[in-house]
Structure 1
C-alpha cells in the first residue's frame, strides 16, 4: 500500500462491501431507516461522491484546522476585541450559538444514520466522515461561547437553548427533528445535505465568515470558516443520491423531498440570516442585502442544479421569490417587538441612514414597514417604552412554528387566500402561515400532527399563568436573560 499511488487503492478501500449470509438485505437496511428500497441494491453501486478523501488526509486536515482556530481563539480571548464589537453583531453571535450549536451536534446522528443505512459502501464511508465533522462542529461551537461567559453571560444559551421551550427553539427543533433526527438515509441525503447544506448553510457560512472579518470579529470568523470547509465536503452526499433516484425512475419522490425541505429551510434561513444581514450587521459592513444574497447565490445555484439534474423548480417558486421582499422584514419587526422572548438583543436597525439603505435595497420599505417604525419611534421619543411591548402572543404556524406575519395592507396567510390557512385532521384544526406550510403538513399529516405550538400550549393550560410573564418563565428566560434593544433606543433619539 505505501508504494501504491492514491488512485490505485482509493476506490478499493472506500467501496468495501459484502454479501449478507445470516440476514436478508431488507433486514440489514430496513426501509424506515434506509429509505432506499425504491432502487434495487445493485442500482446503488453507481453512487460516487465528488469530494474524495482518505482517513489519513481527513485527520491531517482537521488537526491543522483545529490547531489554527483554537490558537487564534486563545490569542483573541486575551484581548478586548469582543468588547469593541458593534452591539448588533454581538446579537448575531448570540443568536447563532443558541440556535445552531446543539443542532450541529445532533446532525451527527443524521450522518451516522447514513453511515449505517446508506446502501452504497462509498456513501457510508463519506457519511462516517460527516458524522465526525458534525461532532466537531458541536464541540467547537460549545467551547467558543464558553470563553465569552465573563463578557456576555447569555453565551451559555449555546447549551441551554435546546433544553428550553423558547419559541425560537421550538421552531428550530421542529425543523431539525423533521430533517435528520426522524428521517431515513435517502431523505436525509436530499433534505439535509443537498437542500439545506448545499443550498443554504454552506453559502451562509461563507457570507458570515466574511462579515465577521469585516466587523473585526476574528474569533467568530475563524470558527465559521473552519466549519464551512467541512460542510463543503459532506454536503456533497445529496448529489449522487438524487442522480440515482432519477436514473431509476423516481424523480417524483426526490422532487417531493426537495420541495418539502427547501421551503422549511427558507423559513429558518429568513429568520436567522435575514435579520442578521439586513438589521444586525453594522451598516458600513453590509456587502449586500439579504435579498441580493439569496438571488445571487441560492436562486442562481438551485436553478442550475434543478436544470442539471432534470428537476423542476418547486411549485411554490413564485411565492418564495415574492417573500424575498418582505418576509424577513415582518419577522424582524415581530422579533424586536417581542424582544423579551429571545436571548439576544435585537437591533432595530431603523436609524435614518439604515432606513435609507433599506429603502434603496427594498423599494417601498418606508411605505410598509417604515410606518410601523414611525409609530415605535414616536412612542420612544415620548418616553412611552411600554407602548412598544406586546400584550399577547401572535398566531403561530403549526408547521414551521413561526409567527404568522404579513406586511401592512396584505392579509395574513397566503397572499391570495384568507388567513390563517386551516386544515382539520383527526378532529383538530391546525393553522398555517402559507400554502407551502399547509401542503407539507397535509402531504404527510401523521408525521406532524399532535405537536403543539407555543400558542397551543398557552391555550391548553400548559403555560401558567396564561400571560406574557408566564410565557417568559415557561421559555426559561430570567429577567437578566431577556432581550432588549441592542442600542438602548439610541437610534430613535438621533
Structure 2
C-alpha cells in the first residue's frame, strides 16, 4: 500500500497519479459490485448479504483512500502542483463513479451515504492533525501547512481555519517557543479500521463511538465502523490493536521501561518510527513551516490570543 506523500511536482504529474489511483479504486469497487450482484440473485438472504458486502467494501476502501490520498493531495503536494482538492477528487472521480456502477445494477446506495458525503469535508483534515502529532510512530515524514497553503485550504474547505487552523496555530506556537509538538501518550485506535481516533468534527471535539461486549470496551472512529463490527462480532471481537496489546502488557518491554517513563515511551511509541534506513517519522522542515507564521502571517498573533483565551 502506498504511503502519504506528494502526488507530484507539477499539475501533469499530479493529474496522471490521480487518474491511476481513481482507476484502481474504480476497478476494485466494480469487481465487488459484480460479485455481490451475482450473489444477490441467489435468494433474499444472500441479497442482503451482498448489499452488506458492498457497503462494507466501500467504507473500508474509503478509509484507506482518505488516510493515504487525503493528506497527499491537500497537505504534501506543492501548491503549484494541485489541480483540485481531495474532496473534489473523491466525490467527482470516485463517489460519482461508484453511484453510476450501483445504478447500472439497480442497487441502492449504502445507508450511510449522507454521512460519507459529510466526512469528505473534514475527516482527512482531522487525520492529518493526528498523524503529524504522532509522526514519530510512522515510517513517513510529514510537515505542517504554510500560511499560503492555509489560504488554499480555507478556499477549498470553507470553515477550515475555524475548525482546524487553531490546532496548527498551537502546534506552530510550540515550535516557535522551542517545544516541538510531540505527545506523551499512544494513539487510541479504531477496533475496526485501525486508524487513530482523532476525528475532530467541525464545531466539536474528538468523537469516539464505543460498544461493550463481555466487559471489554471497543472503540470506533465512526458509526459505520461500529456498524460493520456489529454485523460480524465473532469475527472481530478477539482482535487486539497495538494499543490494546500494550495495555495488556503483551508487548515486550525492558526492565528500565517499567521504572522510567521516558524510556517507556521510547520503547512502545517512538521505536515504531525506526526503519532499516534509519529514523523516520520526522518533520523534514524541522518546524520551518511554523516559523513562517511568525514572519509572514500578520494575523497569527491575533489568532493565538483568540485561541488561548478560548
For Structure 1 versus Structure 2, the TM-score category normalised by the shorter chain is 0.7 to 0.9
Q: How far apart are the structure 1 equivalents of 2:182 and 2:221?
A: 23
Q: Deviation digits for residues 33-61 of structure 1, max 9, x if unmatched?
A: xxxxxxxxxxxxxxxxxxxxxxxxxxxxx
Q: How far apart are the structure 1 equivalents of 2:24 and 2:157?
A: 34
Aligned residues: 277
With over 3 angstroms needed to count, the CA separation of the structure-2 counterparts of 1:215 and 1:293, relative to structure 1, is: closer
Deviation, structure 1 residue 365:
0.5
Report the counterpart of residue 272 of structure 2 in structure 1: 475
Tell me: higher relative CO, structure 1 or 2? Use CA pairs within 8 A at least 6 residues apart. Answer: 2
What RMSD, in angstroms, separates the aligned Cα atoms of the two structures? 3.0
- Asked if residue 491 in structure 1 is aligned to residue 289 in structure 2, the reply is yes
- Asked if residue 389 in structure 1 is aligned to residue 182 in structure 2, the reply is yes
Q: How far apart are the structure 2 equivalents of 1:352 and 1:228?
A: 30
Report the counterpart of residue 360 of structure 1 in structure 2: 155
Q: How far apart are the structure 1 equivalents of 2:102 and 2:118?
A: 20
Higher Rg of the two aligned structures = 1
Deviation, structure 1 residue 233:
7.0
Contact 2:56 2:228 (8 Å CA) reproduced: yes
With over 3 angstroms needed to count, the CA separation of the structure-2 counterparts of 1:397 and 1:340, relative to structure 1, is: same
Query: Any stretches of 5+ residues in structure 1 without a counterpart?
Result: 1-91, 98-207, 414-419
Deviation, structure 1 residue 275:
0.6
- Asked if residue 378 in structure 1 is aligned to residue 173 in structure 2, the reply is yes
Report the counterpart of residue 454 of structure 1 in structure 2: 242
Contact 1:398 1:452 (8 Å CA) reproduced: yes
Aligned pair partner of 1:323 in 112, 119, 126: 119
TM-score (norm 1): 0.51
Contact 1:345 1:485 (8 Å CA) reproduced: yes
Report the counterpart of residue 308 of structure 2 in structure 1: none
Report the counterpart of residue 410 of structure 1 in structure 2: 204
Report the counterpart of residue 60 of structure 1 in structure 2: none
Q: Deviation digits for residues 376-395 of structure 1, max 9, x if unmatched?
A: 1122222222xx11111232
Contact 1:345 1:483 (8 Å CA) reproduced: yes
Report the counterpart of residue 285 of structure 1 in structure 2: 81
Q: Which runs of 4+ in 1 moved over 6 A?
A: 215-218, 227-235
Aligned pair partner of 1:242 in 30, 36, 45: 36
The 10-residue stretch of structure 1 (399-408 or 439-448) with the greater mean CA deviation from structure 2: 399-408
With over 3 angstroms needed to count, the CA separation of the structure-2 counterparts of 1:230 and 1:280, relative to structure 1, is: closer
Q: Deviation digits for residues 414-468 of structure 1, max 9, x if unmatched?
A: xxxxxx3222234422111211111111111111121111221221112333732
- Asked if residue 437 in structure 1 is aligned to residue 232 in structure 2, the reply is no
Query: Any stretches of 5+ residues in structure 2 without a counterpart?
Result: 259-263, 293-310
Contact 2:112 2:224 (8 Å CA) reproduced: yes
Q: How far apart are the structure 2 equivalents of 1:441 and 1:234?
A: 22
Q: How far apart are the structure 2 equivalents of 1:473 and 1:365?
A: 30
Structure with the largest fraction of helix: 1
Aligned pair partner of 1:313 in 109, 112, 115: 109
Report the counterpart of residue 92 of structure 2 in structure 1: 296
With over 3 angstroms needed to count, the CA separation of the structure-2 counterparts of 1:444 and 1:475, relative to structure 1, is: same
Deviation, structure 1 residue 336:
0.7
With over 3 angstroms needed to count, the CA separation of the structure-2 counterparts of 1:485 and 1:475, relative to structure 1, is: closer
Contact 1:251 1:311 (8 Å CA) reproduced: no
With over 3 angstroms needed to count, the CA separation of the structure-2 counterparts of 1:313 and 1:217, relative to structure 1, is: closer
With over 3 angstroms needed to count, the CA separation of the structure-2 counterparts of 1:215 and 1:484, relative to structure 1, is: farther
TM-score (norm 2): 0.79
Contact 1:422 1:432 (8 Å CA) reproduced: yes
Q: How far apart are the structure 1 equivalents of 2:142 and 2:11?
A: 17
The 10-residue stretch of structure 1 (404-413 or 394-403) with the greater mean CA deviation from structure 2: 404-413
Q: How far apart are the structure 2 equivalents of 1:264 and 1:352?
A: 33
